[in-house]
Structure 1
Amino acid sequence: MLIIAGYLTAEPTDRDAFVADGAKAVSMARAAPGCLDFSITADTVDAARINIFERWESEEELLTFRGSGPDSDTAARILGAEVRRYVIASVEDP
């Protein structure tokens, strides 16, 4: 299992539009084989921050969905990013 988690930064005046524009990608990801969870959300404290969370069954399914990544228009709106990939060896109920 893989978890992709972290945040992007955008202009505070564009942050909510960026999140709204990501709704289609969220819907498509959640319907994709191997996607266990996917969200793009506005941070509750930082007006520039966009939180990213993805959970995938496998690297292959993640890469099949992701393709070449964000288009150039979307990429231009991202001012910064701190997103990491976590490879999970086991999962337990709390």
Structure 2
Amino acid sequence: MAEQVIVSGWMDYEPGDRDTMLGHLVELGLRTRTEEPGCLDYAMTADPADERRIRVYERWASQEALDEHFGTPHIKDFRAASAGLTRVGVSLEAHTVAVSRSMR
């Protein structure tokens, strides 16, 4: 079994652009989770303490699945739709995970 990849972090947008970006991310997330079997989780959420910040969490079955994600038609559509929005900061990291365990 391939090692999973988790992408986590945040993106900051001008306050007036954040909600518009979130709308684009909701559509992107729906298509990603539906159309990409290598996507195990995909969530972008507004940070309630910062009007600029979007929190990022993605979980992929493999690095290959993540790499393929960037070439999909819905990523191209997303990039075109969000091209005019102003991102003012970003901190994203990819983590390779060899072992996971339930915390129930």
Determine if the TM-score, normalized by the shorter chain, exceeds 0.5.
yes
Question: Could you report, residue by residue, the CA deviation over 1:14-70 in whole angstroms, capped at 9, with x for unpaired residues?
Answer: 111110121121011112111110011111100000111100000111111122866
**Mapped pair 1:42 → 2:39:** no
Correspondences of 1:1-94 after superposition (within 5 Å): 1-31=4-34, 32-67=36-71, 71=79, 74=82, 77-94=86-103
Unaligned runs of 5+ residues in structure 2 are none
CA contact (8 A) 2:18 2:51 kept: yes
SS at match of 2:82: helix
Greater shift, 49-58 or 72-81, is seen at 72-81
Output the amino acid matched with 2:51.
A
Alpha-carbon distance in structure 2 between the residues aligned to 1:35 and 1:72: 22
Q: Which runs of 5+ in 1 are unaligned?
A: none
Q: Please list every run of at least 4 consecutive aligned residues from structure 1 whose deviation after the TM superposition is greater than 3 angstroms.
A: none
Identity percentage of aligned residues: 31
RMSD, aligned α-carbons: 1.8
Alpha-carbon deviation of 1:73?
A: 6.1
